[in-house]
Amino acid sequence: MGIERRTASDSASGLSVGSMATYWARVSLRAWTDTLRDCGFRDVRTSVVKIIWTIVALGVAWYLGGANVLIEHAGKVGTVIATLLLFFIVLFSWNFLTAPAKLQQEADKEIAALKTKLNNREARQSAMARLWALRAEGTDMRNQKVVGANAAAQWVKQFENWHQRVLAEARTISPNFHAWLATLDRVRPGPNNLPQAATPDHNTQRSCQSEILLRMQEFLQAEMLHRDIERETN
């Protein structure tokens, strides 16, 4: 029992040390990257080009007799190099101290973005579930037998209320889907076995509702197929 406890404790200690080592390695790498950028080496290509041009310039100077000049001013050159090296060390130290805060800030932004994405996905799924319910409600409304002008006027009011709720849920899912349901550029024929329309306005609005129901079905079925494919690929 004691051996098992020590083994578990040693494992946890090893994981902790490994995590800390990984963290400080990330901090050091970030400080090194920021220091190179502060010194003008913003990417690999830029750094390589600058190094190549520096080597070419030194080679040309050496070939043209610059060697004697460099030897004569070796002390001054050494001082410049030492100053630049000291500046690099100070800059790296500063970036090393500020790197944890930068990493934490970036992590917070990434977490916030993931939360927003997750919340949007949950809101989208909830809106789709409500759209399925609204589609069933709309189907029942369309299939109702309406008799008389007063009943037809009441039905039109119910349709307008239903339509607004559908558009509200569609806007949550996608602006394009909302626009597709809001603008009916064409109206396909509805079922042939519907009861006779009570008024011309009832007939027009019912035809629009049939088109909206059909578009809702096409979109929701496409979303279901997309999720099934995504689930299989993952």
Do 140 and 209 lie in one domain? The reply is yes
> Contact at 8 Å (CB) between 132 and 224?
no
Do 104 and 154 lie in one domain? The reply is no
Give the structural domain span for 182. Answer: 116-233
Residue 14 has pLDDT above 70, yes or no: no
Taking the C-alpha atoms of residue 220 and residue 165, their distance in angstroms, rounded to an integer, is: 16
Q: In the chain, count H helices and then E strands.
A: 7, 0
Q: Over range 131-158, report the average pLDDT.
A: 95
Residue 46 has pLDDT above 80, yes or no: no
How many domains, in total, are found in the chain?
2
Residue 195 has pLDDT above 90, yes or no: yes
Q: Which residues contact 125 (CB under 8 A, 6 or more apart)?
A: none
Q: pLDDT tens for residues 86-124?
A: 777 888 888 888 888 888 888 878 777 666 665 667 777
Distances (CA, A) of 183 to 109, 115, 180, 205: 38, 33, 6, 13
The residue from 114, 142, 157 where one domain ends is 114
Greater confidence (105 vs 161) lies with 161
pLDDT mean across residues, the chain: 79
Report the Cα 36 to chain-centroid distance in Å: 29
Residue 8 has pLDDT above 50, yes or no: no
Do 95 and 123 lie in one domain? The reply is no
The residue from 114, 147, 180 where one domain ends is 114
The residue from 90, 114, 138 where one domain ends is 114
Q: Structure pTM?
A: 0.51
Do 225 and 139 lie in one domain? The reply is yes
